[in-house]
């Protein structure tokens, strides 16, 4: 029986039930679409508590017929249809038209900051650092046989506010997996109909104070671990160990955690690929490693692993930024152990050395837009209005077997993220001597990366949420701080070679202004403030203008907002815009970012 609620307009079930439920598709795309529809939009809780009450007044008559015909075509589609951009644009035009009609609420609630910052003492910052550090140690100790820091993912069915009709069609045409294309289609429908009822929409998402969104709806969280999270955690704990005075007991704890994290990053999460143009065989880091029997090594529950596969994420391509972040941290770890004479696991040392001992500027140069090769170019242009010259896409080249013996190389589509590209610059600078990054074609590759970021900052596009992919603008700016910190470790001659136009000092000034004005000049939550404080310290911002003090006062005053003994809430640290908006973070992750802010402030402001 087709679900037909009473009242004006139609629901998503009027659109989908007939074409999907009662069409026994034999082709693989249609069969998957039916399965995914039953598992997602027709899930009993979502159906009866939310979407059944979301009647769209404009979906009636001819428009309802057009949407039903769209879904019928999707059910009958072959893999070849999903690779035909003209078919996609024609078939899904009715859905794109409705996405353009959405006028989302103003989720971020921000008011101009009033008054000057209060004075924050060194003792207050040290006390906060100790508190969040103890929280992190406590979380780590919960799993003594296999310790890790958990991170949660929360699906936001209201969708991404930057997914309009053009972006939707661009994504469908750029994704190489019909399973993921089906997911984008169904979640686009969920976005359209959930926005048709303000009361039901409020069950899914609520306005919040600040820039980063807090995680809620704990029952829907998917807890997991990836090398991408661990490499950021490694950097934060590494900074604590190397920039602050810590006791011998603390130093031993931090050193052990760093070694464990780096082993998961470099050893557990590593796989081998071949570059697309020159055929260079090289290692890379994946966010979802598997063991020899195909079981996840990312701490996902079996039910969540199964759900991930049903959503079209059964396979995952190693990502560029995790790999280059891992290369940066491997370099820092080897240098630290050598400098301090620390005992280091011999196998881990060998793994780090082998990981670093690759022609990385040449490998990544194959992917660079505007470079001499430009292999594996982006298949989507969702991060607008960036100019992509000098950047590389998210994913490395990795083919997967598809239908009829064909190879699929863009399972999730490939696009440009500025934050990923900032990670590459930092790693090239940190490893410049070993890789010869300041000579020949490698130098030209580095300069193109720097020019990409200069244009992002000079145009002001770095402030636009539509211009980032896996982050919000504050994270991108924070990464600029990490690059500037590495920049200061270079000689004047090296700086002149890498950046003859002075782009990095220019980016520094723009980033400082953003932290002072955009982040701390208005309502900011604890996560926003942590990013701003860390960035301002790394960028060597003025100490006497009160910006760092304001950020620290927010961190101190926000203590206790978390649940139970957690000092802070979990906030949106990273996000996925497709197939729908998924925000990722956790309470211990927030504690780590706050610890990093305290670390940098103690080293810079109170040194």
- Could you report the per-residue pLDDT of 74-110, keeping only the tens digit for each? 999 999 999 999 999 999 999 999 999 999 999 999 9
CA gap 440, 476 in Å, rounded: 28
pLDDT for residue 491: 97
391, 416 contact by CB (below 8 A): yes
CA gap 604, 263 in Å, rounded: 30
Look at residue 596 and give its three-state secondary structure: helix
Q: Which residues contact 122 (CB under 8 A, 6 or more apart)?
A: 602, 606
593, 531 contact by CB (below 8 A): yes
pLDDT for residue 7: 62
Q: What element of type H or E holds 333?
A: helix 320-340
Q: Exposed, middle or buried, 43 (CB in 10 Å: 0-12/13-18/19+)? A: middle
Given a cut of 70, the residues of the chain with pLDDT beneath it are 1-7, 310-315, 403-405
pLDDT for residue 106: 94
Q: Report cis status (omega within 30 of 0) of the bond before 433.
A: no
Give the Cα-Cα-Cα angle 361, 235, 497 (nearest 5 degrees).
35
Look at residue 585 and give its three-state secondary structure: strand
Query: For 51, which DSSP code?
Result: G
Phi and psi angles of residue 190, each rounded to the nearest 5 degrees, phi first: -60, -40
pLDDT for residue 244: 97
Left if phi > 0, otherwise alpha if psi is -120 to 50, otherwise beta: which for 413? left
pLDDT for residue 561: 97
Q: How many helices (H) and strands (E) does the chain have?
A: 26, 10
Query: For 119, which DSSP code?
Result: P
| Residue that has been written with the tokens 């969280």 in this structure | 221
pLDDT for residue 2: 44
Q: Which residues contact 107 (CB under 8 A, 6 or more apart)?
A: 161, 205, 207, 208, 213
Question: In angstroms, what CA-CA distances link 377 with 264, 313, 365, 415?
Answer: 30, 21, 12, 8
pLDDT for residue 5: 45
Q: Which residues contact 423 (CB under 8 A, 6 or more apart)?
A: 320, 321, 324, 325, 328, 479
Tell me how far the alpha carbon of residue 69 is from its chain's centroid.
Answer: 35
């Amino acid at each position: 029986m087709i679900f037909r609620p009473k009242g004006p307009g139609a629901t998503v079930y009027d659109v989908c039930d007939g074409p999907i439920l009662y069409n026994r598709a034999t082709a693989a795309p249609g069969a998957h679409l039916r399965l995914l529809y039953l598992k997602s939009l027709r899930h009993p809780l979502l159906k009866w508590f939310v979407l059944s009450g979301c009647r769209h007044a404009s979906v009636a008559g001819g428009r309802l017929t057009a949407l039903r015909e769209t879904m019928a075509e999707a059910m009958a589609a072959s893999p070849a249809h999903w690779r035909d951009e003209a078919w996609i644009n024609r078939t899904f035009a009715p859905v794109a038209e409705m996405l353009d009609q959405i006028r989302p609420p103003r989720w971020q609630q921000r008011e101009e900051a009033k008054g000057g910052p209060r004075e924050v003492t060194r003792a207050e910052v040290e006390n906060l650092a100790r508190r969040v550090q103890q929280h992190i140690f406590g979380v780590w100790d919960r799993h003594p046989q296999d310790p890790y820091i958990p991170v949660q993912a929360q699906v936001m069915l209201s969708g991404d506010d930057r997914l309009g009709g053009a972006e939707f069609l661009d994504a469908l045409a750029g994704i190489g997996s019909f399973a993921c294309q089906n997911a984008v289609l169904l979640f686009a429908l969920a976005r359209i109909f959930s926005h048709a009822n303000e009361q039901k929409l409020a069950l899914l998402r609520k306005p919040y104070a600040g820039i980063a969104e807090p995680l809620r709806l704990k029952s829907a969280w998917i807890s997991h671990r990836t090398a991408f999270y661990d490499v950021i955690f490694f950097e934060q704990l590494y900074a604590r160990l190397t920039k602050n005075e810590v006791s011998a007991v603390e130093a031993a704890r931090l050193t052990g955690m760093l070694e464990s994290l780096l082993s998961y990053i470099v050893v557990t999460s590593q796989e081998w690929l071949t570059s697309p143009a020159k055929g260079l065989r090289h290692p890379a880091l994946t966010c979802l490693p598997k063991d020899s029997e195909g079981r996840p090594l990312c701490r996902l529950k079996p039910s969540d692993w199964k759900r991930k596969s049903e959503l079209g994420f059964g396979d995952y391509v190693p990502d560029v930024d995790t790999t280059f972040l891992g290369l940066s941290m491997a370099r820092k770890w080897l240098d630290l152990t050598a400098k301090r004479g620390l005992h280091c696991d011999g196998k881990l040392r060998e793994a780090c050395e082998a990981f670093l001992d690759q022609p990385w500027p040449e490998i990544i140069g194959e992917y660079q837009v505007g470079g001499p090769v430009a292999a594996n170019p982006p298949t989507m242009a969702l991060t607008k209005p960036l100019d992509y010259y000098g950047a590389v896409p998210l994913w490395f080249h990795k083919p997967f077997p598809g239908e009829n013996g064909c190879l699929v190389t863009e399972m999730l589509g490939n696009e440009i993220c500025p934050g990923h590209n900032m990670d590459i610059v930092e790693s090239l600078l940190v490893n410049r001597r070993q890789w010869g990054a300041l000579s020949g074609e490698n130098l030209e590759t580095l300069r193109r990366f720097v020019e990409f970021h200069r244009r992002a900052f000079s145009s002001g596009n770095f402030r636009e949420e539509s211009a980032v992919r896996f982050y919000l603008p504050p994270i991108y700016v924070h990464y600029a701080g990490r690059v500037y910190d590495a920049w200061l470790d270079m000689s004047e001659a090296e700086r002149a070679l890498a950046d003859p136009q002075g782009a990095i000092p220019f980016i520094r000034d723009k980033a400082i202004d953003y932290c002072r004005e955009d982040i701390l000049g208005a309502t900011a939550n604890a996560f926003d403030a942590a990013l701003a404080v860390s960035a301002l310290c790394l960028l060597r911002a003025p100490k006497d203008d009160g910006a760092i003090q304001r950020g620290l006062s927010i961190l101190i005053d926000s203590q206790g907002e978390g649940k139970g003994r957690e000092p802070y809430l979990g906030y949106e640290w990273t996000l996925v815009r497709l197939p729908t908006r998924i925000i990722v973070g956790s309470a211990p992750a927030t504690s780590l970012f706050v610890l990093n802010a305290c670390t940098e402030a103690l080293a810079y402001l109170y040194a």
